[in-house]
């Protein structure tokens, strides 16, 4: 799978499961996502949520995107909380995918998370033969 194909696949999906770590134990949550041209995964969440607190302590994150049609992308990367111009750019990408995010922007304790993947595995178990490939970023 090429980078362009991966970007197209990721952008076809609006939801992801994000996994974080707390005291050595995994925790998972479903989030609404947007994907930048650089393959960054962006989502909003409350700063009081478990995932936000977990990523503040340990920025490693894993995501699964797409579980329909037997196709998935598994990503691992590092999360951060952009500020300034980087935050403005992330919000632009996020609001393009989630226009209702503009309403949430005014919520108390809203935060924005950017995950920069460093490893991706794409699987298509609907293909014959099944197609599985890893992408190093």
Residues 125-132: what's their mean pLDDT?
Answer: 91
Instruction: Quote the CA–CA distance of 52 and 41 in Å, as a whole number.
Output: 14
CA end-to-end distance (rounded Å), the chain: 13
pLDDT in the model for residue 135:
84
pLDDT digits over 69-89, tens only?
899 999 999 999 999 999 999
In the structure encoding, which two tokens stand for residue 43, read together?
Answer: 């989502």
Strand partners, 113: 43
Nearest to 35 by CA among 10, 66, 17: 10
Binned at pLDDT 50, 70 and 90, residue 68 comes out as confident
pLDDT digits over 17-66, tens only?
999 999 999 999 999 999 999 999 999 999 999 999 999 999 999 999 99
What are the structural domains of the chain?
3-131 (2.30.110.10)
Find the Cα–Cα–Cα–Cα dihedral 11, 49, 99, 33, rounded to 10°. 0
Instruction: Quote the CA–CA distance of 137 and 134 in Å, as a whole number.
Output: 10
Instruction: Quote the CA–CA distance of 91 and 9 in Å, as a whole number.
Output: 21
In the structure encoding, which two tokens stand for residue 60, read together?
Answer: 């490693």
CA 51 → CA 11, 77, 84, 131, distances in Å? Answer: 22, 14, 22, 31
Binned at pLDDT 50, 70 and 90, residue 1 comes out as confident
pTM: 0.94
């Amino acid at each position: 799978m090429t980078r362009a194909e991966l970007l197209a696949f990721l952008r076809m999906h609006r939801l992801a499961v994000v996994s974080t770590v707390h005291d050595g134990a995994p925790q998972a949550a479903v989030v609404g996502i947007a994907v930048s041209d650089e393959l960054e995964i962006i989502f909003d969440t409350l700063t009081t949520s478990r995932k936000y607190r977990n990523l503040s302590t340990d920025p490693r994150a894993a995501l699964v995107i797409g579980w329909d049609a037997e196709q998935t992308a598994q990503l691992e990367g590092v999360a951060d909380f952009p500020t300034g111009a980087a935050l403005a750019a992330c919000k632009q990408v996020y609001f393009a995918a989630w226009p209702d995010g503009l309403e949430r922007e005014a919520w108390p304790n809203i935060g924005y998370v950017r995950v920069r993947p460093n490893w991706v595995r794409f699987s298509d178990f609907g293909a014959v033969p099944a197609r599985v490939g890893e992408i190093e970023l």
